Structure 1
């Protein structure tokens, strides 16, 4: 499941909407919505995201947050380490090989470490 899929499920449950109802309203198949919710499809189009926001009457900051979740929800990521030091390639390959077996807390720790490193880089520039 992706962060976007998890949010779609939450929004539907909160509003008492089935996949079939939402799919009909958005003019997509229920299978497509299911695939999005369960991480079997890539990042949805901007047009689709706008339709979702409209369907749920989501505006401004909440819509921006939904769009950001979608941007971070591609289940098939490609990492290009060409031109970077060898350690970057090792990290990318280790993560690709082991991500399915990492405990949730390790994922949280790595995510925080990367977020902190990015914030530190922004602060120093």
Structure 2
């Protein structure tokens, strides 16, 4: 599941609607909505994001957060290490091979490390 899929599922459950009903209301198939929720589809289009936000009648701040979550929800990520040292490429490949075996705690540790590097830049 992607962060966006999880957010949509929570919104849908909060409103008490089925995937089928929501899919019909926003003009997609139930299979597509299910695949989106389960992370088997990539990042949704801006048009679809607007339809989802409109369907749930969410306010601007919450809609903006949903759009940001969607931006971080593409399950097929590409890392471009061209122009960087060989250790960067080796690390990216190692991460790609190991990502499915990492625990949520290790992922949180990586996130904390990355947040610290963002504040230094």
Question: TM-score higher than 0.5 here?
Answer: yes
How far did 1:119 drift?
1.8
Name the TM-score, length of structure 2 as normaliser.
Answer: 0.97
Matched residue pairs, number? Answer: 121
Rounded to whole Å, the distance in 2 between the matches of 1:104 and 1:90 is 23
Residue in structure 1 matched with residue 70 of structure 2 by the alignment: 70
Q: Which runs of 5+ in 1 are unaligned?
A: none
Rounded to whole Å, the distance in 2 between the matches of 1:119 and 1:65 is 21
Rounded to whole Å, the distance in 2 between the matches of 1:75 and 1:52 is 19
Q: Does 1:35 align with 2:35?
A: yes
Q: Which runs of 5+ in 2 are unaligned?
A: none
Rounded to whole Å, the distance in 2 between the matches of 1:85 and 1:58 is 45
How far did 1:59 drift?
2.1
Residue in structure 2 matched with residue 105 of structure 1 by the alignment: 105
CA RMSD of aligned residues (A): 0.7
Q: Greater CA deviation, 81-90 or 68-77?
A: 81-90
Name the TM-score, length of structure 1 as normaliser.
Answer: 0.94
Rounded to whole Å, the distance in 1 between the matches of 2:120 and 2:3 is 25
How far did 1:86 drift?
1.4
Structure 1 stretches of at least 4 aligned residues deviating more than 3 Å after TM superposition:
none
1:2-58 residue CA offsets vs partner (Å, 9 max, x unmatched): 000000110001110100000000110000000000000000000000000000001
How far did 1:107 drift?
0.5
Rounded to whole Å, the distance in 2 between the matches of 1:96 and 1:108 is 17
Residue in structure 2 matched with residue 115 of structure 1 by the alignment: 115
Residue in structure 2 matched with residue 5 of structure 1 by the alignment: 5
